[in-house]
Chain A
Amino acid sequence: MTEHGTRAHAEHPEPNYMLVFILLAVLTGVEVGIVFLPLAKIFIGLMLVILAFTKAVMVAAYFMHLKFENKTLAIIAFTPIMLCVFLMLMLLPDSDPEAPGRQQPAPPVAAAEH
């Protein structure tokens, strides 16, 4: 009886999980710090997206072991990101702030009685 279940991908040294952890913690700190800097909103936004995706890729590649898996599995994992980007692009034509009815009159709801 073949010993399947134990035959795995090529041997590789275990990633330095503590290093990945430290990087993730540092990037989180940078993310939180950057929102309080007096920079252009678009720049802050771009940096946040880049930082968030870097962290997500690190979790996926090292903690979820994707870096050492069959590349097709990585494609399966990556597909939702492509679909989400597609979704956001497809929402753009409906995202006109100037369209009639878009303005939110929204009288502020009074805070609940304390």
Chain B
Amino acid sequence: MTNDEAYSYESPLTPESWGKLGMWIFLAADAMSFGGLLAGYGALRYVSQNWPDPKTALGINLTAFMTFLLICSSVTMVKGLSAVKRGDMKWGTIHLLLTMGGGIVFLGLQAYEWSHLIHEGMLLTGNPWGSPLFGPTFYITTGFHGLHVTGGVLYLALTVLMLRTGKWGANEVEITGLYWHFVDLIWILVFTFIYLL
């Protein structure tokens, strides 16, 4: 069913599949990308005298719900994997679709939040409240994350299709799960540093 049979040796750290090791290494590198954005944001904010207060400028309540939503989608992801491992393809697919749904709603809420902020004058070039760096650091970091969520939704769609046609199994779903949990994890950090601190 999987490509594992083609190899005569196993991945040293992840005997289940080479793809799993590959995904972990990719995620480690991707974490550095976000780390660069967040460290840059921190450095710029630290030296700025008139940084707007995120609590008042941004919609914390909506974003708190978005955080909760992504956490829920991680739960459905892990339940989906659990179902596929037991051979329950029906519930596996349902949970993966629910995970996708969580991601799509998250993106919709992010789009709504962005349009609201842009309408208030928070742009890449400046904002009504303070340092003109507030906008770019916000949009680029959350936008980069949003792109990852979009990619994740597409990846989940592909996983559902491959699962239905029998080409992928539990190992591949696990790899999809790793990516999705990473997206959730990064959001937890972005939410804390950009919205709350």
Contacts and interface: CB of A to CB of B under 8 A. Distances in A.
A77 B28 contact: yes
Contacts of A114: 119
Interface residues of B, number: 73
A52 B125 CA distance: 30
A8 B16 contact: yes
A87 B36 CA distance: 8
B196 A109 contact: no
A59 B48 contact: no
A91 interface: yes
Given A35-B196, A59-B184, A4 B4 contact: yes
B86 to A, nearest CB: 10
Interface string B73-98: 01101110010000000000000000
A73 B20 CA distance: 10
Contact of A106 (B4, B40, B61, B130): B130
A96 interface: yes
A52 B192 contact: yes
Interface string B158-197: 0000000000000100100110011011001101110011
Contacts of B32: 80, 83-84
A106 to B, nearest CB: 5
B142 interface: no
Contact of A69 (B14, B29, B48, B189): B14
A103 B131 CA distance: 10
Contact of A104 (B43, B49, B68): B49
Contacts of A103: 49
Contacts of B128: 108-111
Given A32-B60, A59-B184, A96 B14 contact: no
Given A106-B131, A110-B128, 20 more contacts: A4-B15, A5-B16, A5-B171, A8-B15, A14-B82, A21-B75, A35-B55, A63-B78, A63-B184, A76-B13, A76-B28, A77-B24, A79-B28, A83-B35, A87-B36, A91-B40, A103-B49, A104-B49, A104-B50, A109-B128
Interface of B: 2, 4-5, 7, 10, 13-17, 21, 24-25, 27-29, 31-32, 35-36, 38-40, 42-43, 46-50, 55, 60-61, 64, 67-68, 71-72, 74-75, 77-79, 82, 118-121, 123, 125-133, 171, 174, 177-178, 181-182, 184-185, 188-189, 191-193, 196-197
